[in-house]
Structure 1
């Protein structure tokens, strides 16, 4: 039954919404979401594997980064234990004749991801057009 006010001449119904049931429902929903948020555990990341390409390039430059972060060059260039700047300079001079030659980065699975991204960035800034990641 709506609330009734006795102001003035007659009895009139007041147009008010009772907020108590709405607040009760919202508090129950809040509690339910808080409890379920603690129960749900985030899933592990499943990194996809890449298939083999149909044809390997005849000439390519391999940049190999081991678990300690040491760089080695393979493929067309054969150098071991060099710095990133030396590797980028050697790759840049090797690509002067053939700028379309691909550069593949092969990194150890225990290596920090940031080192691979840094190497890719340096190669891109040096003007290497085709940079790829080597996978199993």
Structure 2
């Protein structure tokens, strides 16, 4: 009986390249997930906007406007950063807007007022914003629903 000798192959050299295809697949899946969930995660204050027909306000794409909101209970909100859902006093809002406008005078300021708020409250807010150095205020509204 013949004994067979097992031949040993010489060991393969280690592969020094990283296979990036699985990483690209994971990256694309994460990109799709973020694209789908980003619109859902928008923050804001629940305000019922007046419905009017108007032209959209033109803002620069790279500059997000500063939004001051006034809800039906008369609470003020400054929508920027993580604490945009915490109500502030009128004085605190005006102080912060003035500070931001001193740092960035070209930053657009938009006012979002609930349609059930008294007109006088909106006028007071606008006059206080003007006193804080805001020369132009855009009003946010919703397009009317088809009846």
TM-score band by shorter chain is 0.5 to 0.7
**Contact 1:105 1:134 (C-alpha < 8 Å) held by counterparts:** yes
Q: 1:129 and 1:77, CA in 2 relative to 1: closer, same or farther beyond 3 A?
A: farther
Gaps of 5+ in 1: 1-46
Q: 1:105 and 1:116, CA in 2 relative to 1: closer, same or farther beyond 3 A?
A: same
- The equivalent of 2:65 in structure 1 is 60
**CA RMSD, 1 decimal:** 2.1
Instruction: Provide the C-alpha distance between the structure 2 equivalents of 1:54 and 1:131, rounded to a whole number of angstroms.
Output: 12
Higher Cα Rg: structure 1 or 2? 1
Deviations, residues 11-62 of structure 1 (Å, cap 9, x unaligned): xxxxxxxxxxxxxxxxxxxxxxxxxxxxxxxxxxxx8521323556522111
- The equivalent of 2:53 in structure 1 is 49
Instruction: Provide the C-alpha distance between the structure 2 equivalents of 1:49 and 1:78, rounded to a whole number of angstroms.
Output: 31
- The equivalent of 1:10 in structure 2 is none
Instruction: Provide the C-alpha distance between the structure 1 equivalents of 2:137 and 2:82, rounded to a whole number of angstroms.
Output: 16
Q: 1:75 and 1:120, CA in 2 relative to 1: closer, same or farther beyond 3 A?
A: same
Displacement of 1:83: 0.8
TM-score, length-normalised on structure 1? 0.58
Instruction: Provide the C-alpha distance between the structure 2 equivalents of 1:63 and 1:97, rounded to a whole number of angstroms.
Output: 17
Instruction: Provide the C-alpha distance between the structure 2 equivalents of 1:74 and 1:84, rounded to a whole number of angstroms.
Output: 14
1:97-136 equivalence runs, <5 A: 97-136=103-142
Deviations, residues 95-116 of structure 1 (Å, cap 9, x unaligned): 1111111111101111101101
Higher RCO, 1 or 2 (CA under 8 Å, sep at least 6)?
Answer: 2
